[in-house]
Structure 1
Amino acid sequence: MKRALPLLLALIKFASGLLLASPVYELHRDEYLYLEQGRHLAWGYLEVPPLIAAQAWLTHLLGGSYFWVKFWPLLWGALTVYVVARLAARLGAGWFGQALAGAGYLVAGYARLNFLFQPNSFEVFAFTLAGYLLVRHVQDPHPRWWYGLGVVLGLSFLNKYTTFFFVAALGAALLLTPQRRVLTTRHFWLGAALGLLIFAPSIGWQLTHGIPFLRHMSKLQESQLVHVSVADFWKDQLLMCFPALWIWLAGLLALLLYRPFRPYRGLAVLWAAGLLLLTLLHGKSYYALGYYPVLLACGGAWWEQQLACGRWGVYLRPALLALPVLIMLPLAPFVFTLWPPTAMEALGRRYAGMGLTRWEDGQEHPLPQDYADMLGWREMADKTYQVYQSLPDSTRLRTLILCANYGQASAINYFNRHRAIPAATSFNGSFLFWFAPPRPLRNLIIVDDEPDSLASYFGSYRRRAEVLNPYARERGTRITLGTEPNQAIIDTIYAEHRRELASWTNGR
């Protein structure tokens, strides 16, 4: 049972992500970008390190279908709940404590996070595995745990730069607990060197490209993180894991106050230091999700030990197992893409004020932002292809498809990947590296929602289509065809590309 239960929880996690998803929704805006990165393998990108692109490359190799796109986040989610259950067992939990910790993970905000093909799922898995390795080292002070931790964090650095915050919090946890003695050991630093070695190629890419990570963080701060208030951040901490609040909070308090868990107190300091850093830096709420799974494991183990004696445990155990699920049920449509947009809009009005439909702009909208970002993309790609098909055969190959953002360009490329059409491009994000070299152009297909202000540069210029899905974040995006562009607009396009690329790479 000790080994079978974690595997069962992992299977439930993987299967539920596929079975509780409405076919109405498409892939998410960011998922299309990461899939596009898989077609342009490198040691770095303007948005993220390269690990997600390697997964995207394998996805394309396997056909690029919806299942294989979702396979990766579901895999990392399944492995995370497996580690949570195994960690609970390491802390003394039997079947009940493992099931409770696993149930807490299954019903919390990870259900939505582990559904999206983004770096976040691997980050949560890596942080959870790092916590497991720290516990193993406390129980068995063998050097191999530090080498394992070095590999895990090295891969985590290749996955997402927020690993810097986790490592800083880990340093605080070691310094502020008796574990600080490991800082004088050779194997600890060799493990750290191993992690740095794994991350080194991505560091090299950043250095040779002018450290675009700094520009990315600056733009993120200006456009998104500025809207993250301290109050909203902490309110979201309660909401994201609300169905399991009494599990992870019990785990946190047990690490601080429960004598048998005293050797693992560093995990509590890790959580506190990590969330303090994110609070001070105005990090997005979900950046903190990687710090909670170890607390769920501790909470499951603590509840098991409290209910081990006395007849009340016989009755309380099934009730406590059912409680997270019962709490989650009213919020299930915000966790799984179960309901279509019309039903979600009505539901959102019932939960107004809770922040469930608040977007990065700080405003409330009909749907959660993630849901709105899963709509309208196929419509956009199909209409772009139809516009392209309307061109004379003799001029099609001299066509540039220019999009306002990476979501548009990468979605058009994904849905048209089996069609004869030039790749869409953009001045946005890593598309700057993949921009088509200067060449004579006969047609320009512009995917944007800006006013028609370029007509004088073309022999013919008119809107041909528009995204009409009322719930899509891209609603109103126009698809405009300009034919016979003059040299001035062609020069402007390529000059804008060079200027924007130089702003990211310091001219390198």
Structure 2
Amino acid sequence: MKPSRLLPPLFALLKFVSGYVLASRAYELHRDEYLYLDYGQQLAWGYLELPPLTALQSWLTLALGGSWFWVKFWPGLWGSLTVLLLGRLVLKLGGKGWAVALASIGYMVAAYARLNFLFQPNSFEVLAFTAGSYALVRHFQTGRPRYLYALGVVLGLSLLNKYTTFFYGAAVLAGLLLTPQRRLLASRHLWGAAGLVLLLWLPNLLWQVAHGVPFRHHMALLHDTQLVHVSVADFWQDQLLMCLPVVWVWVPGLLALLFYGPFRPYRAVGWLYVAGLLLLTVLHGKSYYSLGYYPVLLSFGALWLEQWLEKRRRRNVLRPALLALPVLIMLPLLPFLFTLYPPAAMRMLGPQYRGLGVLRWEDGVDHVLPQDFADMLGWQELADKVWQAYQALPAATRAHTLIKCDNYGQAGAINYYNRHRRMPRAHSFNGSYLFWFPVRPVQPFHYLLLVEDDQPSGVAAHSRSLRQVGEVLNPFARERGTAIFVVAAPDSVLMSRIYREHRVALSRWEGAAP
């Protein structure tokens, strides 16, 4: 076996291990991770935010104990497999060890370092898009139909992971139409692959139809609350920043795919990137939606640079220097790629990076910490204080308690950290928790534990008492100031209002009239 064949699995292993080694335990799980972990307790063919693939990972995570290691295992695994594919693609295209190393290092020092740390569907999305492009290249290279069917399986699984796969699928179609590979549109194997996509996605499609296509409301809500803040200038600035340490690799990779003669058979992959990015620009997609389009460019860019270096006199000097360059460029950005430094240290570093936009949140405003970092703080504190408030209730009536939160992060964190304690599950009217809200019991609730940002209105007049018993005090947490209220003996008027609000909120997602 050639030594270069060992490099892809070695870099994949390095990628996996680094995700654990470079993570500060000063941070907890991310807001979204708590929601996705709760999917594992409510298995279904769909959720308001996502298709079901994340839920399967959550179920396995909880079955294995639900520890921090297993939560982070999945994004680390998907990132490692992406690195493996990049290295193998270089070798399949005739590249050598240097190009494998450059493509692999380039991936590990770009935005994927942070992406592959969070238990979200994005890591699998990047893997799926990379695998899809890999399958296309291999089909163009060999003509074997099995790669088209592999593409179909990949896109089918990707649709069970995240609906942004539709954008990638449209970009694939555009790439084919803009190149001689358009002849594939007449291939029965391509349509067979399309049938595989539909077959794999069908259970989730049926779930969407059965629930009034909540995807429509999700997209409208996303547009009104988040995507409206995404400007074209910010989107393209972020494209440079996200892969800044290797911009000199992926840009030549793109240009080589579009204009370099030896890469002409794979030109559709270059147009795939162009079409995908233009589509995201027009639709005001979030910047990171594009991350699945870059890895394959790293492979082609590294391969082109390797061939270019073959003709240079100082190639023995340039090769190690160029391998070190991505790492050297990455070092100043290290605090924002990995959770290396605790919040207090990050606050001191923040002003130096304000102009890069790394401190800008979804509201379009700069804050002390990056939004992802602030979303990884305060959750254990909240869960413990809710547990203490629950334990302080009279034992005889404690079980008849409804825990209601403002958002899914609060509900998910309370459920996660209290998963081994005997207490009711926390609920919310936010996201998929709308589906999991308990049926109104015959025996009235004796207590409500409300987790809210502000003093709850219209509650005191319909209960025996209302008092605040706790608050998130972590100064760096996005949830700072979130308070815990105990409502004693809520009357039927208050409970009827709560359940009516639940029906109205759910109807918006399911497309029914309130």
- TM-score, normalising length from structure 2? 0.98
Which one-letter code corresponds to 2:328 in the other structure? L
**1:3 Cα deviation from its structure 2 partner:** 2.1
**1:310 Cα deviation from its structure 2 partner:** 4.1
**1:370 Cα deviation from its structure 2 partner:** 0.3
- Which structure 2 residues correspond to residues 64-463 of structure 1 after superposition, within 5 A? 64-439=66-441, 440-453=444-457, 454-463=459-468
Partner of 2:494: 489
- Please tell me whether residue 11 in structure 1 is matched to residue 13 in structure 2: yes
**DSSP-derived class of the 1:8 partner:** helix
**DSSP-derived class of the 1:463 partner:** strand
Which one-letter code corresponds to 1:269 in the other structure? W
| Alignment partners' CA distance in 2, 1:145 and 1:367 | 44
- RMSD over aligned CA atoms reads 0.9
**1:250 Cα deviation from its structure 2 partner:** 1.0
**1:506 Cα deviation from its structure 2 partner:** 2.4
1:415-443 deviations in whole A, cap 9, x for unaligned? 00000110000011110111111021100
| Alignment partners' CA distance in 1, 2:261 and 2:508 | 55
Q: Show structure 1 runs of 4+ deviating over 4 A.
A: none
Give 1:469's match in structure 2, choosing from 455, 468, 474: 474
**1:309 Cα deviation from its structure 2 partner:** 3.5
> Structure 1 regions of 5+ residues with no counterpart?
none
| Alignment partners' CA distance in 2, 1:163 and 1:468 | 40
Indicate if the aligned counterparts of 1:462 and 1:482 stay in contact, CA closer than 8 A: yes
| Alignment partners' CA distance in 1, 2:217 and 2:171 | 24
Which one-letter code corresponds to 2:219 in the other structure? M
Indicate if the aligned counterparts of 1:89 and 1:301 stay in contact, CA closer than 8 A: no
Which one-letter code corresponds to 2:93 in the other structure? L
**DSSP-derived class of the 1:429 partner:** coil
Which one-letter code corresponds to 2:288 in the other structure? Y
Which one-letter code corresponds to 1:279 in the other structure? T
| Alignment partners' CA distance in 2, 1:505 and 1:152 | 29
**DSSP-derived class of the 1:43 partner:** coil
**DSSP-derived class of the 2:448 partner:** strand
Which one-letter code corresponds to 2:59 in the other structure? W
Which one-letter code corresponds to 2:229 in the other structure? H
| Alignment partners' CA distance in 2, 1:398 and 1:19 | 44
1:93-147 deviations in whole A, cap 9, x for unaligned? 1000010011110100000000000000000000001111111111110111111
**DSSP-derived class of the 1:2 partner:** helix
| Alignment partners' CA distance in 2, 1:242 and 1:130 | 24
Which one-letter code corresponds to 1:223 in the other structure? T
| Alignment partners' CA distance in 2, 1:21 and 1:457 | 47
**DSSP-derived class of the 2:362 partner:** coil
| Alignment partners' CA distance in 2, 1:255 and 1:91 | 13
**1:455 Cα deviation from its structure 2 partner:** 1.6
Which one-letter code corresponds to 2:196 in the other structure? L
**1:165 Cα deviation from its structure 2 partner:** 0.3
| Alignment partners' CA distance in 2, 1:268 and 1:33 | 36
**1:456 Cα deviation from its structure 2 partner:** 1.6
| Alignment partners' CA distance in 1, 2:79 and 2:281 | 25
Indicate if the aligned counterparts of 1:251 and 1:295 stay in contact, CA closer than 8 A: yes
**DSSP-derived class of the 1:464 partner:** strand
1:326-382 deviations in whole A, cap 9, x for unaligned? 000010000000001111111110111210010001000000000000000000000
Indicate if the aligned counterparts of 1:126 and 1:156 stay in contact, CA closer than 8 A: yes
State the identity %: 62
1:193-226 deviations in whole A, cap 9, x for unaligned? 0111000000000000000000000000000000
| Alignment partners' CA distance in 2, 1:41 and 1:376 | 27
**1:450 Cα deviation from its structure 2 partner:** 1.8
**1:507 Cα deviation from its structure 2 partner:** 3.5
**DSSP-derived class of the 1:3 partner:** helix
| Alignment partners' CA distance in 2, 1:255 and 1:368 | 35
Indicate if the aligned counterparts of 1:85 and 1:102 stay in contact, CA closer than 8 A: yes
**DSSP-derived class of the 2:432 partner:** helix
| Alignment partners' CA distance in 1, 2:97 and 2:4 | 7
| Alignment partners' CA distance in 2, 1:158 and 1:244 | 31
| Alignment partners' CA distance in 1, 2:294 and 2:426 | 40
> Structure 2 regions of 5+ residues with no counterpart?
none
Give 2:58's match in structure 1, choosing from 38, 56, 59: 56
**DSSP-derived class of the 1:397 partner:** coil
| Alignment partners' CA distance in 2, 1:332 and 1:226 | 29
**1:452 Cα deviation from its structure 2 partner:** 4.1
| Alignment partners' CA distance in 1, 2:477 and 2:483 | 13
- TM-score, normalising length from structure 1? 0.99
1:270-320 deviations in whole A, cap 9, x for unaligned? 000000000000000000000000000001100111112343110000000
